[in-house]
Amino acid sequence: MSKIIPNISVDCVIFGFDSNQLNVLLVERKLLDEQTSETLIDDWTLAGYHIFEEEDFDTAAARILKRLSGLDHIYLEQFYAFGGVNRLNKPKDQLWLKHQHEGFSDRIVTVGYYSLIDNTSVTLSLKERNVKWFPVSELPELGFDHEEILQKALEKLRTKLRNEPIGFELLPEKFTISQLQRLYESILGQSLDRRNFRKKVMQMKYLIPLNEKQKDVKHKPAQLFLFSKDVYERTKKERFDFTM
């Protein structure tokens, strides 16, 4: 393993959807006093780490995701870089950095990625660290400037979601129209008419109906669909529409 770059890191805002609400994966940051066992720090942060000397940003972000999930090929998008002079200057953050003994600089710049995964099927974990999903509407106290990073990620995700079909990354491979609608509603924070939503998405050629239905539901089982990235790429058009 090669040397880390002391002043550059990558942080990942990992979004998941549990067929009801949008969640973010956070890592617990806990520090006890070595003598008194008093809790000095107990809050949460994004998953992130410094980049290594022979690594570019995408690789570093993929490495972080791989360590959490074991998976490659997760959807990842660089969304913003954060370089505020005082971004790690709160006393708690300084204390934490001091205890890391890894030769970090005290002026660290970070590149933000957001990641979309279907959190009904994958379990994420990190050795020696506690890891947990939080609904974006009920966040705990966040360390460093991670609250700001998370809000920026959300904003960029919303913009992207309005313009490109990336929502599918948050769903299981096979999903129903209602699941898709709940996803859009919960990310965009508005409710949508069921019939009109259906009509709209059914026109999309990249939404492939399957000869298969939901099982084990206590109501009329819904038809399942696939998202075909392939068809999307081949049929997408550019839009011109500066919004009023």
Partner DNA sequence: ACAAAAGTGTTCGAACTACACCCATGG
Partner DNA sequence: CCATGGGTGTAGTTCGAACACTTTTGT
In the complex, the residues that contact DNA under the rule CB under 7 A are 176-178, 193-196, 198-200, 203, 213, 216-223, 241
Shortest Å, Cβ 244 to DNA: 8
Local structure of residue 142 (DSSP, 8 states): B
Q: Contact 157/149 with Cβ under 8 angstroms?
A: no
Interface segment toward its own copies; rule CB under 8 A; list 14-22, 90-98, 114-122, 204-212: 204-212
For the chain, the first-to-last Cα distance in angstroms comes to: 52
H-assigned helices in 191-240:
194-202, 229-235
Of the pair 134, 197, the CB lying nearest its own copies is at: 197
Q: What is the CA radius of gyration of the chain?
A: 20
Name the DSSP letter for residue 73.
S
Does residue 21 interact with its own copies by CB under 8 A? no
- SS3 percent helix, strand, coil of the chain, rounded to 5, is 30, 30, 40
Q: Is 49 in the site for its own copies (CB under 8 A)?
A: no
Selected range binding its own copies among 36-44, 64-72, 82-90, 142-150, rule: CB under 8 A: 82-90
Q: Classify residue 128 as left (phi > 0), alpha (psi -120 to 50) or beta.
A: left
- Comparing CB distances to its own copies, the nearer of 83 and 140 is 83
Contact status: 184 vs its own copies (CB under 8 A):
yes
CB of 87 to its own copies, least distance (A): 8
Q: Count CA atoms within 13 Å of residue 21 on its CB side.
A: 10
Which one of 162, 213, 229, 234 is in contact with its own copies (CB under 8 A)? Answer: 162
The interface partner of residue 33, options being DNA, its own copies, none and the CB cut-off 5 to 8 Å by kind, is none
Would you say 131 or 204 has its CB closer to DNA? Answer: 204
**Residue 168 three-state SS:** helix
The alpha-helical segments, DSSP class H, found in 35-78 are 57-69
C-beta of 121 vs 203, nearer to DNA: 203
Spatial distance between the Cα atoms of 13 and 137, rounded to a whole number of angstroms? 15
Q: Choosing among its own copies, DNA, none, which partner's interface includes residue 5 (Cβ < 5 to 8 Å by kind)?
A: its own copies
What residues between 51 and 80 interact with its own copies by CB under 8 A?
A: 51, 53-57, 78, 80
Distance (Å, rounded) from C-alpha 165 to C-alpha 180? 11
Among its own copies, DNA, none, the one that 107 touches (CB under a kind-dependent 5 to 8 A) is: its own copies
Separation CA 114–CA 22 (nearest Å): 13
Q: Which residues bind its own copies (CB under 8 A)?
A: 5, 7-8, 51, 53-57, 78, 80-81, 83-85, 107, 109, 111, 159, 161-165, 167, 184, 188, 190, 192, 203-206, 235-244
